[in-house]
Structure 1
Amino acid sequence: MAVEIWHNPRCSKSRAALAYLEAKGVTPEVRLYLKDGPSQEELRDMLLALGLPASALLRKEGAALKGEAENVIVAALAVDPGLIERPVIRNGSKAVIGRPTEAIDEIL
């Protein structure tokens, strides 16, 4: 599996993560997740790779969902991918949220 980044080109952290990968010689598969939102199944799969609960993928705009059940959060993220923290980078069965950018080294 190739390295994949869930990317928002308008986000400086996401742009920095993409540049970081490219500087390391990695050409990731770029998923513009706001246009091509992940399904609930893809979100659950990503959460397994991250080893985190669904609430960890919530941006501050989704803070009201933090106390909800996993399935409620996953459903909300699938409906509104703008609530997903970014960038999310995956390499095979492992993934990280690329904040700080150096966290990406954990999966390279």
Structure 2
Amino acid sequence: MKIYHNPRCSKSRQGLTILENSNFEFEIIKYLESSISKEELQNILNLLNISPIDLVRKNESIWKENYKGKELSDDDIITAMVENPKLIERPIVINNGKAVIGRPPEIIKTIL
């Protein structure tokens, strides 16, 4: 099990607490510190079964200033998230071939 975690995000911290209380072993990936590859991000999108645009934090200034309103392909959006990981919605939890975005954090319990 993995959690893609941003310690500065309250929802991500709440998601981490849920995992810590679950007594399952899991790996914490601080994706803002260690880069995420295009392949890894594509795999996450496949597990979530969503389009790249659905994983973007559209209220981030990086998005508004550089990407909002532009005609972008899925590959362009994935590249934007790889280059600016702050754009990736969080937390993301992966367990046994399933994944969820922990918003609200309680949804994480559905894949434990």
In the superposition, the TM-score normalised over structure 2's length comes to: 0.87
Count of residue correspondences: 106
1:50: which partner in 2?
48
Kindly indicate whether residue 80 of structure 2 is the aligned counterpart of residue 82 of structure 1: no
**Partner SS, residue 15 of structure 1:** helix
Mark the runs of 5 or more structure 2 residues left unpaired by the alignment.
none
Task: Give the alignment partner of residue 33 of structure 1, picking from 31, 34, 47.
Answer: 31
Deviation string, structure 1 residues 23-56 (Cα, Å, up to 9, x no partner)? 1212320001001121000000000010111111
Structure 1 runs, 4 residues or longer, greater than 3 Å off = none
Q: Percent identity?
A: 44
Structure 1 or 2, whichever has the larger Rg, is: 2
- Give the RMSD, CA atoms, in angstroms: 1.6
> Which residue identity does 1:103 align to in structure 2?
I
| Structure 1 unaligned spans of 5+ | none
Superposed, which structure 2 residues align to 1:66-105 within 5 Å? 68-105=72-109
* 2:93 match: secondary structure: strand
Structure 2 SS opposite 1:30: strand
